[in-house]
Amino acid sequence: MWGTMWGLCSIRTGPPSLSSSPPRRPGRPLRNRWISWGRRRRNMALSMIRHPTTMNTKEESVIKERKLIYQGSVPIGYFEEESAVLDSDFMGCNTGRELTLAGVPIRWLDGIARTLKDELEGQRKKGGRVCVYQLMSGAPPERKFLPYRQIEEQYGGADRMDYHLIFDGMVEYDSLGSLCELFSVKTPPKGYVGRPLSMSDVIEIYTGDGSILYYLDAEDTVEIQWKEH
């Protein structure tokens, strides 16, 4: 009876045990079958390996320029060229598995979710002085509503002499996109005297180190400098 019970308790499901392996040749290293079992998913598993690294200052400073990756409503990483960078605390999450199945290489780092959260909260509190410029009615027609690349190639860039200032004031915003939306609604900030923003307009954002100019292109904004005379 005890022998029968012992035999039943010794049965193991899953990968083959080492005891059932055929005798190995002398000098042949013993292969761990528990590791090699399921070799079909080896490439997938390798992409999930956690590397004991943390974000450096450069990675933290450019997070806001990347396309974020979310697990539910929580930002847990971002895309970096053809790969993804995810917070190691979320290893094994649905988002990570979906990226792995899609063949996207994943680099796991510590502390990304917290940094992203702090970065987004900081952006929501951002605001400051902003100026908006629009082309004058007397500006050369051939320079109106053109992609900035064409403006730069043909005319040397946007010319401040062709623009007039239509807004100079303090506003609150959380991103450049939300700032553009702020001046594109029917009820823009008080003091705004121009038309809704469109292609060829220029936004100037003041920072602690000076200001940055952005040209509204067809589908994006381009950082520029005024044409020199």
- What does the mean pLDDT of the chain come to? 76
Name which residue leads in pLDDT, 131 or 121.
Answer: 131
- Whether the predicted pLDDT of 56 surpasses 70: no
Q: Are 147 and 155 in contact (CB under 8 A)?
A: no
- Output phi, psi for 187, to 5 deg: -120, 80
Task: Give the pLDDT band (50/70/90) at residue 18.
Answer: very low
SS3 readout for the chain: CHHHHHHHHCCCCCCCCHHHCCCCCCCCCCCCHHHHCCHHHHHHHHCCCEEEEECCHHHHHCHHHCCEEEECCEEEEEEECCEEEEEHHHCCCHHHHHHHHCCCCEEEEECHHHHHHHHHHHHHCCEEEEEEEEECCCCCHHHCCCCHHHHHHHHCCCCHHHEEEEEEEEEECCCHHHHHHHCCCCCCCCCCCCCCCCCCCEEEEEECCEEEEEEECCCCEEEECCCCC
DSSP bridge pairs for 74: 71
- Least trusted range by pLDDT, from 31-45, 50-64, 85-99: 31-45
What distance in Å separates the CA atoms of residue 174 and residue 140, rounded to the nearest whole number?
35
pLDDT in tens, 178-206: 889 999 988 889 999 999 999 999 999 99
What distance in Å separates the CA atoms of residue 20 and residue 28, rounded to the nearest whole number?
17
Residue 203 has what pLDDT?
97
